Amino acid sequence: MHPEKVVFAFFIVFAFTINFAFFVGEISDPDHHHVYELFAAIVVNLVATVLKFGERSQIGAVLLATSLVADLQLIIAALIWAWAVHIAGVGLTPGITASIVSLAGAAMMANIISVVLLVIDTVRFNR
């Protein structure tokens, strides 16, 4: 077992699960989606992205692309949150919350693709 592969897989799966934790709940209820969960999802996804830069295979390129998509979606969600609360001053209305959670859901889909690709690559490597 290679420790670097364990860390790599850990962050890919962790990025998905923490994103899922933020996503779960009533889509338009701000009480179900905490800002620190979104922040944690962004940080873990960024770490996973950095780890994917070392991959030199075609699957590695797709893994990196999915991670960049997830990062972009989560960062846009955070910007919408910051805009609504700190700039526009409207707070987290049900519509704004739904937009933030929808973007996190889109990021989660990219994370699901990453996990599936990781499993495929692992199964293919062992043969």
The pLDDT tens digits along the chain (127 residues) read 789 889 999 999 999 999 999 999 999 999 999 999 999 999 999 999 999 887 778 888 999 999 999 999 999 999 999 999 999 999 999 999 999 999 999 999 999 999 999 999 888 866 5
Rounded to 10 deg, the angle between the 58-82 and 35-52 helix axes is 150
pLDDT at 1: 74
Expressed as residue numbers, the domain containing 116 is 3-125
Residue 22, pLDDT score: 96
* Residue in 8, 11, 36, 43 with CA at minimum distance from that of residue 22: 36
Question: Over the range 59-73, which residues count as b (16 or more CB within 10 Å of their CB) and which as e?
Answer: eeebbbebbebbbeb
pLDDT for the residue numbered 43? 98
What is the SS3 assignment for 98?
Answer: helix
Residue 106 token pair: 């889109």
Q: Which residues contact 105 (CB under 8 A, 6 or more apart)?
A: 23
Q: How many residues does the chain have?
A: 127
DSSP characters over 31-64: GGS-HHHHHHHHHHHHHHHHHHTT--SHHHHHHH
| pTM of the model as a whole | 0.92
Number of domains, the chain = 1
Q: What is the pLDDT of residue 127?
A: 54
Amino acid 126: pLDDT? 60
